[in-house]
Amino acid sequence: MKLAPAILLMGPTASGKTAVAMELMDRFPVELISVDSAQVFRDMDIGTAKPDAATLARYPHHLIDLISPEEAYSAARFRADALSLMADMTARGKVPLLVGGTMLYFKALLQGLAELPQACPETRALIDSQANAQGWPAIHAELATVDPETAARLHPTDAQRIQRALEVFRLSGRPLSVLLGAGRIEAPAYAFLCLGLLPSDRSVLHARIAGRFDAMLKAGLEDEVTMLRGKYRLSPDLPSMRCVGYRQVWEAQDGSAPRSEMRDRGIYATRQLAKRQITWLTNTLKPEAFDCLAPDLLERIATRVSQAFV
């Protein structure tokens, strides 16, 4: 039995994924699913580079504006939501086109998820108490003694992920890296065409990142954060406010980081995000690679997709 097709379009921030997706929607019977852990939040438009209303009217995106910035969205929920949408699209004769830069979501979709212990408020409170007394770098050092693989890929101040990794170890007695590695592969029944946009020159991508962050500031990113803080009950530890850009603006507004450094810190954080995304693509997901800086990128992608449709 021939499997239904599905397209995965992956790439780091500022690699031009949206432009490629729109071109594919103009040419092929595809329907777009966003794979973006920041665009799921309502009212977070500027800092997430969410398409504007006119673009969304012409090129509808599923899985954006799903939840309040007060809430959290997980890879498990993404997988369930995406598979439900994909089944509906296939039944209507459409080809799912999943586009984004949240590589963990792509991995969850393709490989399933490991069975991890559920969150334990008491354990998290204890870890938070330790962090308040010792600082997150000290908690990161503790994690490195029990799960060096996970600690190696986390920044010493990445409170949310450090907390979860240490929580998993304390509840299960096994490192998060081991549990994730033991996850059962459950690839959905689709013929996946996995396309990756990767830069041939990272300095050009870095210039794009800087230009885009400057454009966000000019468009009112600081005002957007002010609005969000007034409309919702937010804290800097929530997933929404830990998103790149929002975190740096929050810290500047609170005075925990110099306002004069906000732009540079935002650009640096975005470059680090792009670096992690590229590492995911090259080491874990390994899609067919296309140079996102190539002048004929759109034609190259369209040609590859047309081959898959034959």
Helix (H) or strand (E) holding 99: strand 95-100
Rounded-to-integer distance, Cα 29 and Cα 9, Å: 15
Q: How far apart are alpha carbons 144 and 154 in whole angstroms?
A: 10
**What angle do the packed helices 103-111 and 262-280 form, to 10 degrees?**
20
**Which pTM value belongs to this model?**
0.84
pLDDT in tens, the chain (310 residues): 689 999 999 999 999 999 999 999 999 999 999 999 999 999 999 999 999 999 999 999 999 999 999 999 999 899 999 999 999 999 999 999 999 999 999 999 998 877 788 888 889 999 999 999 999 999 999 999 999 999 998 989 888 899 999 999 998 888 988 887 765 556 799 999 999 999 999 999 999 999 999 999 999 999 999 999 999 999 998 999 999 999 999 999 999 999 999 999 999 999 999 999 999 999 999 999 999 999 999 999 999 999 987 6
